[in-house]
Structure 1
C-alpha cells in the first residue's frame, strides 16, 4: 500500500520553504510520496494577485522535477467549486483504491481544523502530518495528543509567498527564495510586477 501525503497550497509562487518541508517529510516519515496539490482559483474570491491555475501548476511542476518523491497534482482543478478537502480525499480514494492518502498541514492550519467540513471523518480515515509554524492561537485539546495526528520535526520555514510577491513588485531580489526554474518562469512571464 503506497502512502501519499497531500500538501495543499495555492503555491503563488512555490518557494524553497515549501520544498524544504515537503522533502523533509518525504525523507523522514513513513510516507512514500508527497503530492503538492495546487488549489484552484476560487470563483467566489477575486484575488488579483493569484495567478491562473495552469501557471501555478507549471511552477510546482518545474520546482518538483529534481525530487522523485515529490509530485505536482492538479486534481482539484477538475472538481466542482467551491471544494472541500473531504471531497478531494473521497475523489482520490475512488481514483486510486490501492493508495492511502494523508494530509500535511502547518500547525497554523491545525488551529482551525475543527472548523473544516467533516473534520471528524477526515481524522477517522486519514493521518495528519503537522509541521511547525510560528502562529498566533492555540491548538484545540482534542488535537494535541490525537493518535492520527503526527508532529514532524521539520525545519521552521517562515518564508511567505505574499512576501515574495511584494518583493518582486518592489523590484527586490528574492532569487535565493525560489528554485532557478521557478525564478526563470516568473521572470520570463513578468509575474507579480
Structure 2
C-alpha cells in the first residue's frame, strides 16, 4: 500500500527483477479487499486516505484482524520505529529494492515457521501474544518496536538458555547481518528498559543473551 505513484511504480519494477510479482493498492480500502498475497508492504504515513482516517497504522491493525499475512512498514527517515508496532518489520526510507527483498524473505520465513499452538505464551508476569504481537507485563501493555519484539520472542523460545549473538543477528535481522556493531546491544538495552529492568535479559559476555524469568 503506497499512495505515491512515483515510488510505487519503480518499486514494482524493481521487485519484478527479483522474480517478485507485486500488486499496487492505491487506497486503504483497496488493500483490504485485495486478493490473498504472501507479504504486505505498507507506507506508515499515507497522505491520500480512503476512507478518511485509514492511515498506515490503522490499515495495519485491520489487516492483522482479517488476514494472516507478514507485514512490512515503510517509515520516513528518522521516524520512531515504535510507530510501526504491529508490523513484522519496518524499513526506513530511502531504501534499496535489495534491502526490501531481503526483509520480505526473512519475515516470510519467520511467519511460516511460527508455531500454530496457543498464541499466548506466559513467563511469570510476562505474556506474549504471537498472533497479535502484543506484550503485557503484569497485565499492562508494553509497546515494543518490531525488532525488540522479535528479539524477545527468540529469547523466550527457550528461557534460561543462552542464545549466541550471531544466531540472534541472523534470525532477528537477516543471515550474514553486518550492520553497526552495537545494534544488538542497543536493542537489548531498550528491551530491558521497557520490561522495567536489566534482570529479564542476562548478558553472557562474548557469547550471547538469555531470558531470565523471575521466580
Pairwise same-fold verdict (TM > 0.5): no
Tell me which of the two structures has the higher relative contact order, counting C-alpha pairs closer than 8 angstroms and 6 or more residues apart.
Answer: 1
Which bin holds the TM-score, normalised by the shorter protein?
under 0.3
- What is the TM-score when the length of structure 1 is the normalising length? 0.27
Task: Specify the structure having the higher radius of gyration (Cα).
Answer: 2
What TM-score do the two structures reach when normalised by structure 2?
0.25
